[in-house]
Chain A
Amino acid sequence: MAVAVEYYLLLSAAVFCTGVFGVLTRENALMFLISVELMLNSANINLVAFSHFYGNLTGQVFALFVMALAAAEVAVGLGIVLVLYRNFGDIDVRDATTMRW
């Protein structure tokens, strides 16, 4: 019995919104990055679900690329967190507010 595609989308939406929730409320920069990872992975779920829905493997290959990009992005993001720590002494994202009105 195959799972209907709506449920995959539901799962994807739930994971995405969890990620958004994390981005909106987390103060720790690393937790912020983890939330971003969640969002990327929800996109992956979406891609694979539709790949199964249409019977076309493009979605799955694309998901692989997304994963590679996520890894690259985390690498750079961790570098930024390091710089943030060096400048502010703490990785609280609410500290860096100089670019304001």
Chain B
Amino acid sequence: MVGATELTPAIPLLPFAAFLVALLVGHFAPRLLPKGGAIPGILATAGSLLLSVWTFVAVSGGGYYAQDIYTWVVGQNTFSLHFGVLIDPLSALMLVIVSLVAVLVHVFSLGYMNDEGETGLPRYYAGLGLFTFSMLSFVVADNLLMAFMFFELVGLCSFLLIGFHFREPGPPSAAKKAFLVTRFGDYFFLIGVVGILATFGTARFVAVGEGVHSFPHLAEQALAAAGGEGTMPEHVAHFLDIVGMSPETWFAVLGLLVLGGVVGKSAQFPLHTWLPDAMEGPTPVSALIHAATMVAAGVYLVARMYGFYALLPTVLAIIAFVGGFTALFAATMGVVKDELKQVLAYSTISQYGYMMLGLGTGGYIAATFHLMTHAFFKALLFLGAGSVIIAMHHNEDMWDMGGLREKMPVTYYTFLSGSLALAGIVPFAGFWSKDEILYEALIYGAGDSPILLAAYAMGLLAVFFTGFYTFRMVFLTFHGEPRSDTARDPHGVRWNVKLPLVVLGILAATVGLVNMAPVAELTGLHIEFLHQWLVIPEASNFAALGYEHYHHLLEEFAGYHAADIGPLVPGAVSLALALGGAGLAWVLYNVDSPTEHTEKLGGVKTVLYNNYYQDEYQVWLAEGVTLPLARAADTFDQGIVDGVVNGVSSVSLFAGSRVKRIQDGLVTHYAALLTLSLVVLLVAFGLFGGWF
């Protein structure tokens, strides 16, 4: 019986096989795939889920695992590039999350795509399979370069899936925008990866084995040496001489470069503009990619590299501030949207802001917790929205809905479960995780960091808006009187839609129980399961990836010291704000015929509705700044570079057209040329050969 560790590479490879089946069989023998590739996809992701759960169980028994799978560049006297897997608590947890959401989305797609009679399904399921493969490979990646490669591949799959209905005008444009905006961030990420490889000579996250180093550990040693303890690793010292900066500055530069990719992929300000447009894709795609997994990739990357980021206080402060700002920024925009998926999109941006805030303030466990709970409740909300969209015959405008509560009870109750989790109402999942993030932000901010406190304030304010827009959405969609004929008589949904909703609904309600930190502190019970999960014993080789180590780094290098504030009061404040927002929405929107109250905001609403004109600004940057530069470069390329090449060829052509006139057809002229050449040759030979 093989152990879980040997089968780890099968976890991403099963969906890859489903991708190949959907692609090849779907193209060459479509009749063999009655559901367009759904069955292979469901089987593959279910298989991945089983293997992930098995791996999870193995890790809970201390079975951490890191293995090089394939060295694709063997370096002589320098570093090698390889693919490998790394299974530690964080990646095992993420594997379960990703594969669970993936299998539920595949089942949901049977209802959303197959039952609605969509065409081109093999392409859809192939895209989902490829995405699942890339995301799972990204999760188990053991070095930064491999993570980057799968990061990019995930972006490509997002492009393919958003633009699924490519014959309409909207989706391909949205797909391009998503790809370009994330690519812009990934450009900095790539430079960061190259920088890390050059500085440290390795891109590994953890060093297991003889003679192997990991870059977080090397960075820690370098900073300790700069602080006076221990010796600077040679490679790092050599590179720092070339760069000419102190270690703190240079590592901060590297951290910020990698952060560029994170900001793009996790849709933080200013690279958030692609996510609302990505809602043009089919709703299961939005649920899988733009809620639970792909946008999580950025946050997961920071968590994976936390041993590096925990050394850099400036970067952490920037992460926290950007996260808190994005949380508030997106929440304000979510308040005025009229389309169901748009509200959820801005909510996603906002919630990932919370996770970045958590990571930036040293709340590694809180951020991971929120990553997990958010994956479940946001996927639930998107799938619920998908169910509503099926019922409303693909009309997403909330002002045409209403009264769906009686007609779609399963959808309503699961959606309500997700909304309560999103708004952060106790005891649903979102409360515990969001509250813990804000608590960590407060205690470390009150320590002596005004930036963290400002970020905390923004995050706290966003809780109010979150509660408001969430319940505005629920009341407009499900309560009140139906506002259109489709709402009076909605299209029914089948088991393949309801089953994932029920599963996720239960999870959204209960998964918060894994880490009820305030209850644990008050009662002294050890029920902080996630905290215990993420702590790795000192004795293990993998201790560098555990929370104890990160906490130690945060205190020593980043200077994070927790203030002594009890968890009850901040928790009560955030709960009160959430209830306040929900209550305001109740008052305004839980009536039979709600009015558009947001109109009363007047000019503010226009600004918010137009997303603070960020889209126009980015288009201006592209057209006004990038396009002229591109034109100038093109002129240089065509005129000078091509000009030289064309010039050479035109010289050849001109010379040829002149020289060919020697062939005039007269035999005597040819004979003359022959003889002349003979004479010249003889003279030449004679001179060289000494005949004369």
A86 to chain B, nearest CB (A): 18
* In the bound complex, CA of A27 to CA of B666 (Å): 10
A9 to chain B, nearest CB (A): 13
A70-101 to B contact mask, C-beta < 8 Å, 1/0: 00000000000000000000000110111111
Residue of B nearest to A27 (CB): B668
* In the bound complex, CA of A71 to CA of B667 (Å): 22
Residue of A nearest to B663 (CB): A101
* Interface presence of B675 (CB below 8 A): yes
* Interface presence of A47 (CB below 8 A): no
* Interface presence of A24 (CB below 8 A): yes
B666-677 to A contact mask, C-beta < 8 Å, 1/0: 111001100100
The residues of B that contact A25 with a CB separation of less than 8 Å are 668
* In the bound complex, CA of A24 to CA of B37 (Å): 83
The residues of A that contact B661 with a CB separation of less than 8 Å are 101
13 A–B contacts, CB within 8 A, in A order: A20-B671, A20-B675, A24-B668, A24-B672, A94-B666, A94-B668, A97-B664, A97-B666, A99-B663, A99-B665, A100-B663, A100-B665, A101-B660
The residues of A that contact B675 with a CB separation of less than 8 Å are 20, 24
Residue of A nearest to B660 (CB): A101
A12 to chain B, nearest CB (A): 15
B629 to chain A, nearest CB (A): 48
* Interface presence of A23 (CB below 8 A): yes
Is B671 in contact with A97, judged by CB distance below 8 angstroms? no
The residues of B that contact A100 with a CB separation of less than 8 Å are 663-665
* In the bound complex, CA of A98 to CA of B667 (Å): 11
Binding site for A on B (CB under 8 A): 660-661, 663-668, 671-672, 675
- Most chain-A Cβ atoms within 10 A of its Cβ — which of B661, B664, B667, B675? B667
A19 to chain B, nearest CB (A): 11
Is A93 in contact with B663, judged by CB distance below 8 angstroms? no
B665 to chain A, nearest CB (A): 3
Is A97 in contact with B665, judged by CB distance below 8 angstroms? yes
* In the bound complex, CA of A25 to CA of B675 (Å): 13
- Number of inter-chain CB pairs below 8 Å: 31
The residues of A that contact B666 with a CB separation of less than 8 Å are 93-94, 97
The residues of B that contact A97 with a CB separation of less than 8 Å are 664-666
* In the bound complex, CA of A25 to CA of B666 (Å): 11
Known A20-B675, A27-B668, A93-B666; further 10 A-B contacts with Cβ < 8 A: A20-B671, A24-B671, A26-B668, A94-B666, A94-B668, A98-B665, A100-B664, A101-B661, A101-B663, A101-B664
Is B671 in contact with A96, judged by CB distance below 8 angstroms? no
Is B665 in contact with A23, judged by CB distance below 8 angstroms? no
Number of interface residues of A (CB under 8 A): 14
* In the bound complex, CA of A97 to CA of B438 (Å): 97
A54 to chain B, nearest CB (A): 21
* In the bound complex, CA of A101 to CA of B664 (Å): 6
Is A23 in contact with B664, judged by CB distance below 8 angstroms? no
Is A96 in contact with B665, judged by CB distance below 8 angstroms? yes
* In the bound complex, CA of A97 to CA of B663 (Å): 10
Is A23 in contact with B668, judged by CB distance below 8 angstroms? yes
* In the bound complex, CA of A91 to CA of B667 (Å): 13
* In the bound complex, CA of A94 to CA of B671 (Å): 12
- Most chain-A Cβ atoms within 10 A of its Cβ — which of B660, B664, B668? B668
* In the bound complex, CA of A43 to CA of B667 (Å): 22
* In the bound complex, CA of A100 to CA of B661 (Å): 8
The residues of B that contact A26 with a CB separation of less than 8 Å are 668
Residue of B nearest to A17 (CB): B675
B609 to chain A, nearest CB (A): 73
* In the bound complex, CA of A100 to CA of B660 (Å): 9
**Which A10-28 residues sit within 8 Å CB-CB of chain B?**
20, 23-27
Residue of A nearest to B667 (CB): A93
The residues of A that contact B671 with a CB separation of less than 8 Å are 20, 23-24
The residues of A that contact B664 with a CB separation of less than 8 Å are 97, 100-101
* In the bound complex, CA of A58 to CA of B666 (Å): 38
* In the bound complex, CA of A94 to CA of B668 (Å): 8
The residues of B that contact A99 with a CB separation of less than 8 Å are 663, 665
The residues of B that contact A94 with a CB separation of less than 8 Å are 666, 668
* In the bound complex, CA of A99 to CA of B663 (Å): 8
A47 to chain B, nearest CB (A): 20
The residues of B that contact A101 with a CB separation of less than 8 Å are 660-661, 663-664
* In the bound complex, CA of A24 to CA of B670 (Å): 9
The residues of B that contact A24 with a CB separation of less than 8 Å are 668, 671-672, 675
* In the bound complex, CA of A27 to CA of B669 (Å): 12
